[in-house]
Structure 1
Amino acid sequence: MSDTATPKPRKSPARKRKPATKKTTDRAAPAAREVSPAVEADQAPVALIRVPLSVRWRDLDAFNHVNNSKYLSYLEEARLRWMLGVPGQGLDDHVAPVVAAAHLNYRRPIEWPAEVDIELFVERLGNTSVSIGHRIVDAKDDQVLYCDGNVVMVWIDRGTGRAAELPVAVREACS
Protein backbone atom coordinates (compact mmCIF):
# COMPACT_ATOMS: atom_id res chain seq x y z
CA MET A 1 0.00 0.00 0.00
CA SER A 2 1.01 3.51 -0.64
CA ASP A 3 1.37 6.11 2.07
CA THR A 4 0.08 8.85 -0.21
CA ALA A 5 -3.51 9.92 0.13
CA THR A 6 -5.80 10.09 -2.83
CA PRO A 7 -6.29 13.73 -3.76
CA LYS A 8 -9.80 15.05 -3.28
CA PRO A 9 -11.54 16.30 -6.40
CA ARG A 10 -11.50 20.07 -6.61
CA LYS A 11 -14.70 21.99 -6.91
CA SER A 12 -14.83 24.48 -9.67
CA PRO A 13 -15.54 27.99 -8.46
CA ALA A 14 -19.15 29.06 -8.78
CA ARG A 15 -19.68 31.32 -11.72
CA LYS A 16 -21.93 34.29 -11.53
CA ARG A 17 -24.39 34.40 -14.35
CA LYS A 18 -25.12 37.67 -15.99
CA PRO A 19 -28.78 38.54 -16.15
CA ALA A 20 -30.29 37.98 -19.56
CA THR A 21 -30.64 41.14 -21.55
CA LYS A 22 -32.69 41.66 -24.63
CA LYS A 23 -30.51 42.59 -27.56
CA THR A 24 -31.89 44.84 -30.19
CA THR A 25 -30.33 45.35 -33.55
CA ASP A 26 -31.06 47.31 -36.67
CA ARG A 27 -30.88 44.15 -38.76
CA ALA A 28 -34.06 42.94 -40.35
CA ALA A 29 -35.34 39.48 -39.59
CA PRO A 30 -33.96 36.86 -41.96
CA ALA A 31 -36.02 36.33 -45.08
CA ALA A 32 -38.18 33.24 -45.19
CA ARG A 33 -36.58 30.36 -47.06
CA GLU A 34 -37.79 29.98 -50.57
CA VAL A 35 -39.09 26.56 -51.52
CA SER A 36 -39.54 25.57 -55.11
CA PRO A 37 -43.16 24.84 -56.03
CA ALA A 38 -41.88 21.67 -57.70
CA VAL A 39 -40.89 20.18 -54.37
CA GLU A 40 -44.02 20.90 -52.34
CA ALA A 41 -45.47 17.93 -50.50
CA ASP A 42 -48.29 17.34 -53.00
CA GLN A 43 -46.03 17.19 -56.06
CA ALA A 44 -43.45 14.70 -57.26
CA PRO A 45 -39.83 15.75 -56.66
CA VAL A 46 -37.81 17.04 -59.60
CA ALA A 47 -35.65 14.21 -60.94
CA LEU A 48 -32.08 15.31 -61.62
CA ILE A 49 -30.26 12.23 -62.89
CA ARG A 50 -30.10 8.44 -62.74
CA VAL A 51 -26.53 7.16 -62.87
CA PRO A 52 -25.65 3.47 -63.41
CA LEU A 53 -22.58 2.24 -61.52
CA SER A 54 -20.83 -1.10 -61.25
CA VAL A 55 -19.85 -2.27 -57.79
CA ARG A 56 -16.09 -2.85 -57.70
CA TRP A 57 -14.34 -5.59 -55.76
CA ARG A 58 -12.32 -2.97 -53.91
CA ASP A 59 -15.58 -1.44 -52.58
CA LEU A 60 -16.13 -4.47 -50.34
CA ASP A 61 -15.29 -4.68 -46.66
CA ALA A 62 -14.42 -7.65 -44.43
CA PHE A 63 -18.09 -8.70 -44.35
CA ASN A 64 -18.05 -9.09 -48.15
CA HIS A 65 -20.48 -6.27 -48.86
CA VAL A 66 -20.00 -2.66 -49.95
CA ASN A 67 -18.43 -0.61 -47.17
CA ASN A 68 -20.69 2.15 -45.84
CA SER A 69 -18.18 4.85 -46.79
CA LYS A 70 -18.39 3.82 -50.44
CA TYR A 71 -22.06 4.81 -50.54
CA LEU A 72 -20.91 8.42 -50.10
CA SER A 73 -18.49 7.95 -53.00
CA TYR A 74 -21.30 6.60 -55.19
CA LEU A 75 -23.46 9.63 -54.32
CA GLU A 76 -20.57 12.01 -54.99
CA GLU A 77 -20.04 10.45 -58.41
CA ALA A 78 -23.72 10.89 -59.27
CA ARG A 79 -23.74 14.53 -58.07
CA LEU A 80 -20.64 15.31 -60.13
CA ARG A 81 -22.16 13.76 -63.23
CA TRP A 82 -25.31 15.84 -62.67
CA MET A 83 -23.28 19.02 -62.16
CA LEU A 84 -21.41 18.42 -65.43
CA GLY A 85 -24.76 18.99 -67.14
CA VAL A 86 -25.36 22.32 -65.35
CA PRO A 87 -24.07 25.29 -67.38
CA GLY A 88 -20.96 26.58 -65.63
CA GLN A 89 -21.23 23.56 -63.32
CA GLY A 90 -22.63 25.80 -60.59
CA LEU A 91 -19.27 27.33 -59.81
CA ASP A 92 -17.10 30.19 -60.93
CA ASP A 93 -14.33 32.39 -59.55
CA HIS A 94 -16.70 33.71 -56.89
CA VAL A 95 -19.00 30.85 -55.76
CA ALA A 96 -18.70 27.10 -55.34
CA PRO A 97 -20.81 24.34 -53.78
CA VAL A 98 -19.88 22.48 -50.60
CA VAL A 99 -21.58 19.58 -48.87
CA ALA A 100 -23.06 20.89 -45.62
CA ALA A 101 -24.81 17.71 -44.48
CA ALA A 102 -25.29 14.11 -45.56
CA HIS A 103 -27.96 11.73 -44.33
CA LEU A 104 -27.93 8.09 -45.40
CA ASN A 105 -30.32 5.31 -44.47
CA TYR A 106 -28.67 1.97 -45.14
CA ARG A 107 -31.59 -0.28 -46.08
CA ARG A 108 -29.77 -3.47 -47.16
CA PRO A 109 -26.22 -4.50 -47.99
CA ILE A 110 -24.93 -4.37 -51.55
CA GLU A 111 -23.04 -7.53 -52.43
CA TRP A 112 -20.57 -8.08 -55.24
CA PRO A 113 -21.06 -8.46 -58.14
CA ALA A 114 -23.82 -5.89 -58.57
CA GLU A 115 -25.00 -3.12 -60.83
CA VAL A 116 -26.72 -0.22 -59.09
CA ASP A 117 -28.44 2.98 -60.13
CA ILE A 118 -28.09 6.20 -58.17
CA GLU A 119 -31.17 8.41 -58.43
CA LEU A 120 -30.93 12.08 -57.47
CA PHE A 121 -33.88 14.42 -57.04
CA VAL A 122 -34.59 17.84 -55.55
CA GLU A 123 -36.11 17.70 -52.08
CA ARG A 124 -35.84 21.38 -51.22
CA LEU A 125 -34.65 24.41 -53.10
CA GLY A 126 -33.54 27.34 -50.97
CA ASN A 127 -31.89 30.70 -51.50
CA THR A 128 -28.34 29.45 -50.90
CA SER A 129 -28.75 25.68 -50.78
CA VAL A 130 -30.40 22.68 -52.32
CA SER A 131 -31.32 19.46 -50.56
CA ILE A 132 -30.68 16.63 -53.01
CA GLY A 133 -32.54 13.46 -52.20
CA HIS A 134 -31.00 10.17 -53.26
CA ARG A 135 -31.78 6.51 -53.69
CA ILE A 136 -29.37 3.70 -54.48
CA VAL A 137 -31.31 0.87 -56.10
CA ASP A 138 -30.62 -2.35 -57.95
CA ALA A 139 -30.15 -1.62 -61.66
CA LYS A 140 -32.45 -4.49 -62.70
CA ASP A 141 -35.14 -3.93 -60.06
CA ASP A 142 -35.59 -0.45 -58.64
CA GLN A 143 -37.84 -1.89 -55.93
CA VAL A 144 -34.63 -3.24 -54.32
CA LEU A 145 -33.59 -0.24 -52.24
CA TYR A 146 -30.07 -0.25 -50.80
CA CYS A 147 -29.92 3.31 -49.49
CA ASP A 148 -31.90 6.53 -49.37
CA GLY A 149 -31.51 9.93 -47.74
CA ASN A 150 -30.29 13.36 -48.77
CA VAL A 151 -27.32 15.66 -49.08
CA VAL A 152 -27.52 19.40 -48.47
CA MET A 153 -25.31 21.44 -50.76
CA VAL A 154 -24.64 25.09 -49.95
CA TRP A 155 -23.10 27.55 -52.37
CA ILE A 156 -20.46 29.69 -50.70
CA ASP A 157 -18.63 32.86 -51.57
CA ARG A 158 -15.03 31.75 -52.14
CA GLY A 159 -13.66 35.00 -50.72
CA THR A 160 -15.63 35.13 -47.48
CA GLY A 161 -16.61 31.50 -46.95
CA ARG A 162 -20.20 32.61 -46.32
CA ALA A 163 -23.32 31.35 -48.02
CA ALA A 164 -24.02 32.85 -51.43
CA GLU A 165 -27.10 32.93 -53.65
CA LEU A 166 -27.65 29.83 -55.74
CA PRO A 167 -26.39 30.41 -59.27
CA VAL A 168 -29.20 30.90 -61.80
CA ALA A 169 -28.06 27.82 -63.77
CA VAL A 170 -28.35 25.62 -60.66
CA ARG A 171 -31.78 27.02 -59.79
CA GLU A 172 -32.98 26.34 -63.35
CA ALA A 173 -31.51 22.82 -63.34
CA CYS A 174 -33.43 22.10 -60.12
CA SER A 175 -36.78 23.41 -61.34
Structure 2
Amino acid sequence: MPVRWRDLDAFNHVNNSKYLSYLEEARLHWMLGVPGQGLDDDVAPVVAAAHLNYRRPIEWPKQVRITLFVERLGNTSLTIGHRIVDAEDADTLYCDGHVVMVWIDRQTGQAAPLPPAVREACQA
Protein backbone atom coordinates (compact mmCIF):
# COMPACT_ATOMS: atom_id res chain seq x y z
CA MET A 1 0.00 0.00 0.00
CA PRO A 2 1.46 3.38 -0.91
CA VAL A 3 1.79 6.15 1.65
CA ARG A 4 -0.05 9.16 0.28
CA TRP A 5 1.09 12.76 0.70
CA ARG A 6 -2.28 13.61 2.28
CA ASP A 7 -1.58 11.03 5.03
CA LEU A 8 1.17 13.21 6.51
CA ASP A 9 0.84 15.46 9.53
CA ALA A 10 2.71 18.64 10.48
CA PHE A 11 5.80 16.58 11.40
CA ASN A 12 5.98 15.11 7.87
CA HIS A 13 5.14 11.56 8.88
CA VAL A 14 1.95 9.55 8.66
CA ASN A 15 -0.66 10.78 11.12
CA ASN A 16 -1.55 8.20 13.76
CA SER A 17 -5.20 8.09 12.61
CA LYS A 18 -4.14 6.97 9.14
CA TYR A 19 -2.71 3.73 10.57
CA LEU A 20 -6.31 2.76 11.40
CA SER A 21 -7.33 3.59 7.83
CA TYR A 22 -4.54 1.38 6.45
CA LEU A 23 -5.68 -1.48 8.70
CA GLU A 24 -9.31 -0.98 7.70
CA GLU A 25 -8.33 -1.16 4.02
CA ALA A 26 -6.39 -4.39 4.62
CA ARG A 27 -9.33 -5.95 6.51
CA LEU A 28 -11.72 -4.99 3.71
CA HIS A 29 -9.47 -6.64 1.13
CA TRP A 30 -9.40 -9.78 3.29
CA MET A 31 -13.19 -9.71 3.73
CA LEU A 32 -13.69 -9.50 -0.04
CA GLY A 33 -12.06 -12.95 -0.26
CA VAL A 34 -14.50 -14.46 2.25
CA PRO A 35 -17.60 -15.98 0.59
CA GLY A 36 -20.56 -13.79 1.55
CA GLN A 37 -18.04 -11.37 3.09
CA GLY A 38 -19.33 -12.17 6.57
CA LEU A 39 -22.24 -9.78 6.26
CA ASP A 40 -25.76 -9.94 4.97
CA ASP A 41 -29.15 -8.43 5.73
CA ASP A 42 -29.08 -10.02 9.21
CA VAL A 43 -25.49 -9.64 10.52
CA ALA A 44 -22.46 -7.41 10.02
CA PRO A 45 -19.06 -6.92 11.70
CA VAL A 46 -18.19 -3.87 13.77
CA VAL A 47 -14.89 -2.84 15.37
CA ALA A 48 -15.23 -3.33 19.12
CA ALA A 49 -11.63 -2.50 20.06
CA ALA A 50 -8.39 -1.44 18.42
CA HIS A 51 -4.93 -1.67 19.93
CA LEU A 52 -2.00 -0.15 18.05
CA ASN A 53 1.64 0.00 19.08
CA TYR A 54 3.30 2.77 17.10
CA ARG A 55 6.89 1.52 16.75
CA ARG A 56 8.35 4.18 14.42
CA PRO A 57 7.10 6.95 12.15
CA ILE A 58 6.24 6.24 8.52
CA GLU A 59 7.64 8.85 6.17
CA TRP A 60 6.76 9.76 2.61
CA PRO A 61 7.38 8.39 0.04
CA LYS A 62 7.09 4.82 1.28
CA GLN A 63 5.27 1.62 0.47
CA VAL A 64 4.03 -0.42 3.42
CA ARG A 65 3.01 -4.06 3.72
CA ILE A 66 0.21 -5.00 6.08
CA THR A 67 -0.05 -8.50 7.48
CA LEU A 68 -3.20 -9.72 9.18
CA PHE A 69 -3.53 -12.91 11.20
CA VAL A 70 -6.05 -14.53 13.53
CA GLU A 71 -5.12 -14.15 17.20
CA ARG A 72 -8.39 -15.42 18.64
CA LEU A 73 -11.53 -16.93 17.19
CA GLY A 74 -14.54 -16.60 19.49
CA ASN A 75 -18.23 -17.38 19.21
CA THR A 76 -19.26 -13.86 18.16
CA SER A 77 -15.91 -12.13 17.74
CA LEU A 78 -12.61 -12.35 15.95
CA THR A 79 -9.34 -10.82 17.12
CA ILE A 80 -7.22 -9.89 14.12
CA GLY A 81 -3.54 -9.29 14.78
CA HIS A 82 -1.72 -6.89 12.49
CA ARG A 83 1.74 -5.72 11.51
CA ILE A 84 2.62 -2.76 9.30
CA VAL A 85 6.14 -3.02 7.91
CA ASP A 86 8.21 -1.38 5.19
CA ALA A 87 7.42 -3.06 1.86
CA GLU A 88 11.12 -3.25 0.97
CA ASP A 89 12.45 -4.15 4.44
CA ALA A 90 10.17 -6.38 6.52
CA ASP A 91 12.47 -5.86 9.52
CA THR A 92 11.35 -2.22 9.68
CA LEU A 93 8.26 -2.47 11.88
CA TYR A 94 6.05 0.62 11.97
CA CYS A 95 3.10 -0.73 13.92
CA ASP A 96 1.69 -3.89 15.47
CA GLY A 97 -1.31 -4.76 17.60
CA HIS A 98 -4.80 -6.13 17.08
CA VAL A 99 -8.41 -5.28 16.33
CA VAL A 100 -11.44 -7.04 17.79
CA MET A 101 -14.33 -7.47 15.37
CA VAL A 102 -17.76 -8.46 16.71
CA TRP A 103 -20.57 -9.63 14.47
CA ILE A 104 -23.87 -8.05 15.41
CA ASP A 105 -27.50 -8.68 14.60
CA ARG A 106 -28.57 -5.70 12.47
CA GLN A 107 -32.07 -5.68 13.98
CA THR A 108 -31.20 -5.84 17.68
CA GLY A 109 -27.62 -4.55 17.79
CA GLN A 110 -26.71 -7.59 19.93
CA ALA A 111 -23.75 -9.89 19.29
CA ALA A 112 -24.46 -12.63 16.75
CA PRO A 113 -22.62 -15.89 16.00
CA LEU A 114 -19.70 -15.65 13.58
CA PRO A 115 -20.89 -16.57 10.10
CA PRO A 116 -19.68 -20.05 9.06
CA ALA A 117 -17.78 -18.61 6.05
CA VAL A 118 -15.78 -16.29 8.34
CA ARG A 119 -14.99 -19.12 10.77
CA GLU A 120 -13.85 -21.34 7.88
CA ALA A 121 -11.69 -18.58 6.36
CA CYS A 122 -10.00 -18.05 9.74
CA GLN A 123 -9.27 -21.74 10.20
CA ALA A 124 -7.83 -22.19 6.68
| Aligned 1:110-129 pairs, distance under 5 A | 110-129=58-77
Q: Distance in 2 between matches of 1:70 and 1:138?
A: 15
Q: Which has the higher contact order (CA 8 A, sep 6+)?
A: 2
Unaligned runs of 5+ residues in structure 1 are 1-52
Unaligned runs of 5+ residues in structure 2 are none
The TM-score normalised by the length of structure 2 is: 0.99
Q: Which residue of 1 aligns with 2:3?
A: 55
Task: Confirm or deny that 1:149 pairs with 2:97.
Answer: yes
Cα displacement (A) at 1:73: 0.2
Runs of 4+ aligned residues of structure 1 deviating over 4 Å after TM superposition are none
Q: Identify the structure with the greater helix proportion.
A: 2
Cα displacement (A) at 1:147: 0.1
Task: Confirm or deny that 1:64 pairs with 2:12.
Answer: yes
AA aligned opposite 1:168: P
Task: Confirm or deny that 1:87 pairs with 2:35.
Answer: yes
Q: Which residue of 1 aligns with 2:45?
A: 97
Q: Distance in 2 between matches of 1:92 and 1:105?
A: 32
Q: Which residue of 1 aligns with 2:24?
A: 76
**Equivalent residue in structure 2 for 1:160, among 83, 108, 114:** 108
Count of paired positions: 123
* 1:2-56 Cα deviation digits (max 9, x unpaired): xxxxxxxxxxxxxxxxxxxxxxxxxxxxxxxxxxxxxxxxxxxxxxxxxxx0000
* 1:34-93 Cα deviation digits (max 9, x unpaired): xxxxxxxxxxxxxxxxxxx00000000000000000000000000000000000000011
Q: Identify the structure with the greater strand proportion.
A: 2
Larger Rg belongs to: 1
For residue 174 of structure 1, give the secondary structure of its aligned residue in structure 2.
helix
Q: Distance in 1 between matches of 2:92 and 2:74?
A: 31
The TM-score normalised by the length of structure 1 is: 0.70
* 1:138-157 Cα deviation digits (max 9, x unpaired): 00111100000000000000
Q: Distance in 1 between matches of 2:41 and 2:25?
A: 23
